[in-house]
Amino acid sequence: MARDRQTALLFPGQGSQTADMRETVERQRPDLLELALEEVGPDLFERAADGTRWAQPAIYCAALAGWRELDTDGDVMAGHSLGEITALVAADAISAEDGLRLIAARGRLMQEAAETTGDGGMTAVRARDDNRDAIAEVAAEAGVSIANDNAPDQLVLSGAVGALDTAEALLKERGIRAKRLPVAGAFHSPLMEPAVEPFQAAVDAIEIAEPRVPVYSCVTAEPFDDIPQRLVEAITHPVRWFEVLRALDGRGVTDFVETGPGRVLTNLVKKSLAMEAAGA
């Protein structure tokens, strides 16, 4: 029997920035553009590739503008990392202005945490069903975290640079491919702990309502329960995106619509659910 059609709106995270973000925001959300330039700086979009301080608010604004351009809504929503906050705004749990202030604080605090530790990075690992346990064992032995579970074939490790060097060597011994990412921080790992307390204060300063549709948390891979707690936990906890997609598929979602910028999440959906179907 065919499924009743259900749509999931997906809001992207860092790494999805594109060159046309400012134009999209200026066209669809000039109010957000003005506030973003005040909150973050006049070169916000031009510096989106320079670090989380600029990338996160730029992507947030572009994703909300992209959603308006699509002129569609979802039965359920989810966001990758910072995209969780964008999804909560789209679901009327947080105002767009508070969302921008929260994202601006998040990006700044995460970058400051990376600069404070001064010794962090991330490594993408080519995963398969038969090597995920080995990757987890290597991560534990090297003292790094699995920061992102993005798809059946993509895990990301996060930790101190020396520990990542060890992890990469151990993975190579096992014939597992790994590639260091061009980021200067151990995001979604315990090394982000300096950002937790001040981000908690930023979360406590805004009003949060019940979402009008379910919004999935990357911390739990379930609909948000305690929104403030989950948003703060997301700073140091892994992004369980593959599990989020499986949960959405399990609840009967038939259509996945990415708001942009970019098409990172669309590609992860195709990869994840196609592989799940092939392995079923």
Q: Residue 31: which residues within 8 A CB-CB, separation 6 or more?
A: 96
Distance in angstroms (rounded) separating the CA atoms of residues 208 and 202: 12
Distance in angstroms (rounded) separating the CA atoms of residues 221 and 200: 21
Question: Which residue has 């038969």 as its token pair?
Answer: 130
163 membership: H or E segment, kind and range: helix 161-173
108 membership: H or E segment, kind and range: helix 96-117
Which residue from 245, 235, 277, 259 is spatially nearest to 108, judged by alpha carbons?
A: 235
**Catalytic-role residue among 16, 80, 81, 217:** 81
Annotation says 81 is catalytic: yes
**Catalytic-role residue among 16, 188, 189, 272:** 188
Apex CA 128: angle with CA 123 and CA 130, to 5°? 125
Distance in angstroms (rounded) separating the CA atoms of residues 91 and 219: 18
Length of the chain: 280
Annotation says 217 is catalytic: no
Enzyme catalytic residues: 81, 188
